[in-house]
Amino acid sequence: MSQELHFKSQIDLTSEKTLNNEGLKKSDLPSKEQFFELETLKELTYKRPLWVSMGLRLLMGAVLLANVPVYLVFSWFSLSILTLYAMHASCAYFYKQMPNTANFLANELREKFQKFKVIWFLNAVAIGSGSILAQLWLSTHQKMFFHTVLTATMYLFLTRNCADKRFMNQITLSMIGTSFLGGVLFLLLSDQPANDFNVFIRLCAYLCINTFMLFLVGTRFNTSFDKRCNSDYSNLVLIQSLKESEEKLHVEQEALTAANSVIQQFYSAAAHDLRQPVYAMELYTDMLKDDPTQMDHLLPKIAQSCMFINHMFNDLFDFQQKHLNDSKVEETVLSISDTLKSLALHFEPIAAAKNLKISFKPLEGNVQTIPLYFVRILSNLIANAITYTAEGRILVAARKSGNMLSFEVWDTGPGIDKKSQTKIFEEFYKINNTGVKTSNLGLGLSIVKGLTKRINGAKIQVVSKLGHGSAFKLQLPIETYSAPQKVQLVESSMHYDI
């Protein structure tokens, strides 16, 4: 696998591993509505000590025992205690489910929570029903004391059910309603309707004031709860954002490390390969200095060493260009024929030196592209064809092919087997079965692929059969082509592989 592909895959694997192991993920972060629902359920089902609720029930029961028949007080007290423990057991059940958010919000548990609300209603009605007994049997002073304790119980309820405003109001009204029902029964069963009517009016006034205060305090409790939830959710979002930034920074750091490793490997290989032709040149010049008569024999070898060094420096510059950003490059209109003519001036002598016939068949018209990358890609493909073609010819042509504009380099070289066709665009990859000795770094086609990706809509293809030559095709969208017109030839300052 090439270093570039290895580098990209390493980033993907690192990113995936980091996202799987660190904190809440963006996709797992609950919505604001889900978060509020969860916090509401937590508040309603939070386990609290029983002694306060139990103490208030005992106190109300003691007051009722003053005049109410014992069996009625016992029935009322048993019912209130039973509903209290049913609530406590439900809270314990939901408390066990609390660590698992997904299960806690499941529909099955939502249905069970509705049953929990029913138990709470029964508990409220059970406590409120005590006011019916108080209205029918207790004296005025005893009623006042009983309703004082009952009111304290109502406010105690507010501290828990204020998380759900609608549910809080329903519970409050159920307890107020039972007290009002007790007053109505007291009036209907009274022996002195005129006198007891005044008592009923005072009870109604008390209940109205108490209801108003309960709603007011409950609303403020609910507002405070909502503010706390909003603050907690904002903190959760902030923590998630910080975690994502940390994960992104971690991935970028690993990417930088991997990139530095690739660059280090490249320059190490370059330094190693450059040492050989430089050392050869030194030996040849020393031999020529000692024996000038060997000039005809040694000069071609010195020239060949120079060519190898030039090719390696071209790879160095291309590698640097490949890893630069595209912030300063722009598309422009190039004349296809003029561009191919410019390439012919450079490569015809090089091909002739190897006794190769090279021909250029341009397409009349223009192409809109990035000259820096476009010319570099074609020059690398042509240089590659010349390098690996021992005899025969090379054809460089431009033509329309369906909805693409195709720039093609054909050669009569040794060809490429199918297995190697999938690897030749990888960095540092060299084909060893071509029979051609080269000292390049195996970067030419990798650079071609990298630069192709920087041209919008461009594709690079290879068609080859072992022993029958190869064809490399740079394809651009047909929309980049335009009819012939006079445009200024962009002279490339690019260097070319020789």
Would you state the pLDDT for residue 274? 65
Percentage above 70 pLDDT, the chain = 77
Q: Note whether 341 and 475 are same-domain residues.
A: yes
Determine, yes or no, domain membership for 285: no
Over residues 165-192, the pLDDT tens digits come to: 998 999 999 999 998 998 898 888 877 7
Under the banding of pLDDT at 50, 70 and 90, the label for residue 15 is very low
Q: What is the pTM of this model?
A: 0.50
Q: Note whether 89 and 209 are same-domain residues.
A: yes
Would you state the pLDDT for residue 21? 42
Q: Note whether 333 and 222 are same-domain residues.
A: no
Q: Which of 129-133, 440-444, 487-491 has the highest mean pLDDT?
A: 129-133
Q: Note whether 61 and 186 are same-domain residues.
A: yes
Query: CB neighbours of 20 closer than 8 A, spacing ≥ 6?
Result: none
Determine, yes or no, domain membership for 301: no
Among 247, 270, 290, give the residue marking a domain's end.
247
User: Pairing mode, if any, of strands 404-411 and 332-335?
Assistant: unpaired
Would you state the pLDDT for residue 409? 93
Over residues 121-134, the pLDDT tens digits come to: 888 998 889 989 99
Determine, yes or no, domain membership for 430: yes
Does residue 207 sit in helix, strand or coil? helix
Instruction: State the Cα–Cα distance between residues 371 and 331, nearest whole angstrom.
Output: 7
Instruction: State the Cα–Cα distance between residues 111 and 410, nearest whole angstrom.
Output: 72
* Residue 12 burial (CB count, 10 A): 10
Angstrom distances, CA of residue 351 to CA of 292, 390, 404, 437, 493: 30, 10, 29, 17, 21
Paired tokens of 52: 């306060």
Angstrom distances, CA of residue 366 to CA of 333, 482, 491: 6, 5, 15
Under the banding of pLDDT at 50, 70 and 90, the label for residue 408 is very high
Say which residue, 208 or 296, is predicted with more confidence: 208
Does residue 461 sit in helix, strand or coil? strand
Phi-psi region of 174 (alpha: psi -120 to 50; beta: other; left: phi over 0): alpha
Would you state the pLDDT for residue 262? 63
CA-wise closest residue to 458 among 381, 385, 384: 381
Would you state the pLDDT for residue 495? 41
Under the banding of pLDDT at 50, 70 and 90, the label for residue 30 is confident
Q: Note whether 147 and 242 are same-domain residues.
A: yes
Among 230, 247, 264, give the residue marking a domain's end.
247
Instruction: State the Cα–Cα distance between residues 238 and 195, nearest whole angstrom.
Output: 65
Q: Give the single-character DSSP code of 406.
A: E
Among 247, 279, 309, give the residue marking a domain's end.
247
Instruction: State the Cα–Cα distance between residues 438 and 450, nearest whole angstrom.
Output: 22
Whether the CB-CB separation of 415 and 466 falls below 8 Å is answered with yes
Mean pLDDT of the chain: 79
Instruction: State the Cα–Cα distance between residues 309 and 275, nearest whole angstrom.
Output: 9
Determine, yes or no, domain membership for 9: yes
Instruction: State the Cα–Cα distance between residues 496 and 315, nearest whole angstrom.
Output: 10
Whether the CB-CB separation of 150 and 131 falls below 8 Å is answered with yes
Mark 30-41 as b/e (b = at least 16 C-beta within 10 Å).
eeeeebbbbbbb
Whether the CB-CB separation of 362 and 337 falls below 8 Å is answered with yes
Would you state the pLDDT for residue 7? 37
Would you state the pLDDT for residue 449? 83
Q: Note whether 54 and 163 are same-domain residues.
A: yes
Instruction: State the Cα–Cα distance between residues 165 and 358, nearest whole angstrom.
Output: 86
Determine, yes or no, domain membership for 356: yes
Determine, yes or no, domain membership for 344: yes
CA-wise closest residue to 64 among 131, 161, 8: 131
pLDDT at 197 over 80: yes
* Residue 443 burial (CB count, 10 A): 25
* Total domains in the fold of the chain: 2
Under the banding of pLDDT at 50, 70 and 90, the label for residue 219 is very high
Whether the CB-CB separation of 104 and 95 falls below 8 Å is answered with no
Whether the CB-CB separation of 79 and 123 falls below 8 Å is answered with no
Say which residue, 75 or 259, is predicted with more confidence: 75
Determine, yes or no, domain membership for 181: yes
Q: Note whether 369 and 234 are same-domain residues.
A: no
Would you state the pLDDT for residue 220? 93
pLDDT at 135 over 60: yes
Q: 243 is in which domain, residue-wise?
A: 3-247
Would you state the pLDDT for residue 448? 82
Does residue 491 sit in helix, strand or coil? coil
Instruction: State the Cα–Cα distance between residues 408 and 461, nearest whole angstrom.
Output: 9
Would you state the pLDDT for residue 303? 73
E strand or H helix at 474: strand 470-477
Over residues 347-395, the pLDDT tens digits come to: 887 888 888 899 999 888 999 998 878 888 888 888 888 888 888 999 9
Determine, yes or no, domain membership for 421: yes
Paired tokens of 142: 């005893």
Query: CB neighbours of 112 closer than 8 A, spacing ≥ 6?
Result: 93
User: Pairing mode, if any, of strands 393-401 and 357-361?
Assistant: parallel
pLDDT at 12 over 60: no
Exposed / middle / buried, residue 398 (Cβ in 10 Å: 0-12, 13-18, 19+): buried
